[in-house]
Amino acid sequence: MDPYLAGFFESYLNIETAGYVASLKRTIAVSSPAWRERLKEIFEQLLTERSTTAGRFCDFTFIEFETDDDMYVYLTKVHAYLFLDAEEVPIPPD
């Protein structure tokens, strides 16, 4: 996984902050276009390549998924919410 994206997940999508995705969306919207585009590109690369596992994601975020597929469903929803104007706020598993 790209270290930049791993840091993003660790900081903004961890067990304590994942419930604030709506605030994160606003933060991304007002951030620099270069930062926003870089984040979007590496996020899309992760979704395309499926280059990490649920276990590795848990190492950064302490959010556990039953399967890699479950994690990618969640991350796809996060990506859609943050970058594609999806209206549904993604909720991580309990």
Domain ranges of the chain: 3-83
Distance of CA 81 to the CA centre of its chain: 10
pTM of the model: 0.92
Select from 44, 48, 64, 46 the least CA-distant residue to 56.
Answer: 64
Q: Which residues of the chain register pLDDT less than 70? A: none
Contacts of 81 (CB under 8 A, 6+ apart): 21, 25, 87, 88, 89, 90
* pLDDT for res 63: 95
* pLDDT for res 18: 82
